[in-house]
Structure 1
Amino acid sequence: MGGTAAAPGTTGLAVDGDGRVGIGIPAPLAALHLREGTALFSAAGDVPATPAPLGLSGEGRRAFWYADKAAFRAGYVVDGQYWADGSTSFDEANVGRYSFAAGYTSRATGQGSVALGSSNQAAGTNAVALGEFTRATGDNSVALGYGSGATGLGSVALGTACSATGAYATAIGFRSIASGDFSMALGKDARAEHRGAVVISDAFPGFASDYVPSSAPNQLTMRFVGGYIFNTSQNALSSNCGGCGGGAITGVMLAPGGGSWTTLSDRRAKENLRPVDAEQVLAKVAALPVSEWNYKSQPASQRHVGPMAQDFYQAFRLDGIGRDTTINTGDIDGVNMLAIQALAARTARLRQQNEQLHAQLRQHQAQLPALETHTAAAEAQARAA
């Protein structure tokens, strides 16, 4: 061993006067001190069907490799606020095959599971629980944060007090719940309660009774009381377009409390402006077929009124406007405004012509008494003759 307790060796295995063992070091600093080299814990083949008894149980601080389950444990286990039998977290019955658990009363009972942190539970096969008071009980589930739980198959819960109970559901944020299969809840108090639903919520207001739920399967629900901004260009959308000079900013906004989209229309974001003949546009609009219809993907009772994209494109494609399968709401608004301007111009001309006719009529009416007097005098003279 390279020495004795009274006279420690300088090579190989050394034992000092306090019973500390050093491997490759003459003065070990811990109960077991390995200098450089590699420490190996190995066993041939897969784990046995019936593992040998672990022989460890109850409260305490410990670190060990359980070869017959190919599992590792390190930390402190004790009965506490999360579960009354917390001290059994490292007991043989709570050690899953190929599992890893470390920290304060963390428990990894599922095969291939991982539990790290404080009072976490990874019970599902290949489940992962990290943080504090998290639980991943669904197979292939993940729970991260504080007090979050992933109980559905393949579910994910990230954040504080989040819950993913649906199969392949995801809950992220604060108190968000994804209970529908394949659902997703993001933000504060978002609740995706239906299959395939996605709910995204803001932080307003602060009380727990307020939440944003889904109302139908495969539905997207969002609440942002500060409004919505969607950018379609590299620069961020600004309400006053203060940076338009450095690059066009395009996108749409929905103002707080608003019910319709606001589209960027700042002159500084546009180029290649040219005038348009409003009369020609009016003629095209007058000839444009407009009908009532419903989308094939909607019930026949859900009716709409409007032109077909092909007809709209046929009318305005020479101007480079539109596509043969879509109609841009900004384009059709502009076309309608031009048609209205043409009608307004026609109305103004008709009003002017009408005023001229009224003026002529008033003039004729003013001349009528004199004409009647002259006619009467002529008739009287003729009778006298």
Structure 2
Amino acid sequence: MRASNWTAWVAAMGISVTGWAAPETPIIRSPARGDCAARRPVFSWTVTNEKAPRYLIRITRGGSIYLDKWTQKTRWVPSFDFPEGAYEVRVVGYDGVEYGSWSARVKFRRVFTPVVSSINGLTRDGGNVQLVAGEGIAIEPVASNNSVIISACGITATQIVERSVTTEKIDNYAITYVKLADNAVYGRTLVDGAITEPKLSDQSVTTHKLADGAVTSVKLADGAVTSNKIAAGAVPLSSLAQAGASPGHALTWNGSAWTPGTLYAGYAEGYISAPSGAEGNGSVALGEGSDVMGNYSAALGGRQNQISSNANNSVVVGGAMNSIKKDSSYSVVLGGTENQVAESYSYSLGRGARATNEGTFVWSDSTVSGVGSWGPNTVTFKANGGVRFQSDSPGQANHRVQWVPGDSSWQFSSDRNLKEGFSPVDPRAVLEKVAALPVQSWRFKGYSRAHVGVMAQDFHAAFPLEGASETMIDSADLQGISLAAIQGLYAELQEARARIRVLEEKAAQP
């Protein structure tokens, strides 16, 4: 529900709401309008007063959504390079119930900053400038765009006297890979043992600097490659051998080697515009654009679900835009959309269910208005079509208890076809027992509300009914006894009227 719709609904219902406001409109600070040379632009924004719990960054390109990113911060830096082109960005706040207003749109163009490598159109007083290459300099003309490329020539092995260059004569870091021509150094040009680990700086050898097949297992000493010597992401999945695996298989360890095995869980690949993030200890986040900050908590499937910090041991299962708020531990949201838990030990499910008290269960139907809890340790159902409880026991009558909008009380099954063992009752005998029943005012222990009625033990002593609990009273039995007593009273009233008529007739005789 947008803030404007919420305000209109509150006004229409005649409800006075104080202290509520939709999230503030963000003001984008970066990137600036115009050209942006950064490969990974920094997206940042500010708000005047209170920061929203979550923000949605929407980036479009060519009129279509390029990326939607949810974040709890007011700054986001992508982990990938933006391609060259024109983009538009805007930001909106979301507090778990309402969206605020979108920020102003900021248009920027991602451009590449070229490295100057040519000189184009050199003239002097209308004449041409002649470029002469000196020692160690190469000049390459480019006729297609009337330019030249000026570069330094490398030193080749034929220009160096054998053994004139030794490691002792070279300063630390004097030779870097950018100073070496392609294929200048290869296995046959190195003396065995010439390159050792202490002679290599960190990150000096990376996968893109090694030719395919340059490093084999026979060229590596035992223990030369360990996990702490391999940078994160240095070995991508594409570089791993298939090892006999086919689609639907996974590599499993059989105790001595990795072998193909069958996947017993189904999966499907698809486009996810915003990855999920798990920041809490032992937390899990699956689906699109979901964030889990609580410890040992999980968002399992769905999109844009959130578990805030210190909401520990909690879970959101599927659905969209559901949230478990800060400090709401041991809580659950089961699917649906826009459901919220704001206190511990609570559940919410459906659409717009809000468990805002501790130890509550809230279920809301598909209508957009939603429903909230009404106190600690309570259960709330919102069902515009009604509520029904029904048994299904083979060989026995199936009972139904239901309430639908418009009813003033619960309705119970009383179909003759569900009943057996009929026997008449004596209305006058029932009337006498009812007249003898103690009727008192009373309160349940520990509560202040007063009631008027009979005690279950007195009721069952007067009307022993097979199978009934002596500490409970079935409302159907209470109604039946009341109706029988009324019939007994009616019969006595009729007899009294008959006797009165006889006396009146005698009195009227002369």
TM-score (norm 1): 0.60
AA of the residue aligned to 2:278 = A
Q: Of 334, 349, 352, which residue of structure 2 is paired with 1:186? A: 349
Alignment of 1:1-385 (within 5 A): 54-56=231-233, 62-63=236-237, 119-144=275-300, 145-151=302-308, 152-158=311-317, 159-165=319-325, 166-172=328-334, 173-204=336-367, 206=368, 210-234=369-393, 248-299=397-448, 302-317=449-464, 319-320=465-466, 322-362=468-508, 364=509, 367=510
> Per-residue deviation at 1:340?
0.9
Give the conservation status (yes or no) of the 8 Å contact 1:105–1:119: no
> Per-residue deviation at 1:359?
2.9
Give the conservation status (yes or no) of the 8 Å contact 1:120–1:129: yes
Match of 1:146, SS state, is coil
- Between Structure 1 and Structure 2, which shows a larger proportion of helix residues? 1
AA of the residue aligned to 2:355 = A
Give the conservation status (yes or no) of the 8 Å contact 1:294–1:304: yes
Q: Residues 180 and 283 from structure 1, CA distance in 2 versus in 1: closer, same or farther, beyond 3 angstroms?
A: same
> Per-residue deviation at 1:169?
1.2
Structure 1 segments unaligned to the other structure (5+ residues):
1-18, 22-42, 66-101, 107-116, 236-245, 368-385
d(CA) in 1 for partners of 2:305, 2:379: 23
> Per-residue deviation at 1:360?
2.9
d(CA) in 1 for partners of 2:332, 2:293: 14
> Per-residue deviation at 1:215?
1.9
AA of the residue aligned to 1:251 = R
Match of 2:287, SS state, is strand
Q: Residues 55 and 171 from structure 1, CA distance in 2 versus in 1: closer, same or farther, beyond 3 angstroms?
A: closer
Give the conservation status (yes or no) of the 8 Å contact 1:191–1:214: yes
1:239 corresponds in structure 2 to: none
AA of the residue aligned to 2:323 = S
Q: Residues 336 and 105 from structure 1, CA distance in 2 versus in 1: closer, same or farther, beyond 3 angstroms?
A: same
The CA RMSD over aligned residues, in Å, is: 3.3
> Per-residue deviation at 1:136?
1.6
Q: Residues 279 and 64 from structure 1, CA distance in 2 versus in 1: closer, same or farther, beyond 3 angstroms?
A: farther
The answer to which of 345-354 and 182-191 deviates more is 345-354
d(CA) in 1 for partners of 2:445, 2:411: 29
Q: Residues 176 and 55 from structure 1, CA distance in 2 versus in 1: closer, same or farther, beyond 3 angstroms?
A: closer
d(CA) in 2 for partners of 1:217, 1:55: 48
Deviation string 1:34-82 (CA, Å, 9 cap, x unpaired) is xxxxxxxxx99xx9xxx6673549xxx95499xxxxxxxxxxxxxxxxx
d(CA) in 2 for partners of 1:350, 1:164: 70
> Per-residue deviation at 1:347?
1.2
Match of 2:286, SS state, is strand
> Per-residue deviation at 1:185?
0.8
1:5 corresponds in structure 2 to: none
> Per-residue deviation at 1:353?
2.0
Give the conservation status (yes or no) of the 8 Å contact 1:104–1:119: no
d(CA) in 1 for partners of 2:502, 2:387: 53
Give the conservation status (yes or no) of the 8 Å contact 1:196–1:217: yes
d(CA) in 2 for partners of 1:200, 1:56: 45
d(CA) in 2 for partners of 1:104, 1:275: 70
Match of 1:343, SS state, is helix
> Per-residue deviation at 1:104?
8.7
Match of 1:252, SS state, is strand
> Per-residue deviation at 1:133?
1.1
d(CA) in 2 for partners of 1:316, 1:201: 42
Kindly tell me the number of residue pairs found equivalent between the two proteins.
256
Structure 2 segments unaligned to the other structure (5+ residues):
1-211, 215-224, 240-267
> Per-residue deviation at 1:349?
1.5
Give the conservation status (yes or no) of the 8 Å contact 1:169–1:179: no
d(CA) in 1 for partners of 2:397, 2:340: 40
d(CA) in 2 for partners of 1:230, 1:351: 47
RCO comparison, higher one (Cα < 8 Å, 6+): 2
1:81 corresponds in structure 2 to: none
d(CA) in 2 for partners of 1:52, 1:280: 96
Match of 2:359, SS state, is coil
AA of the residue aligned to 1:218 = N
Sequence identity, in percent? 33
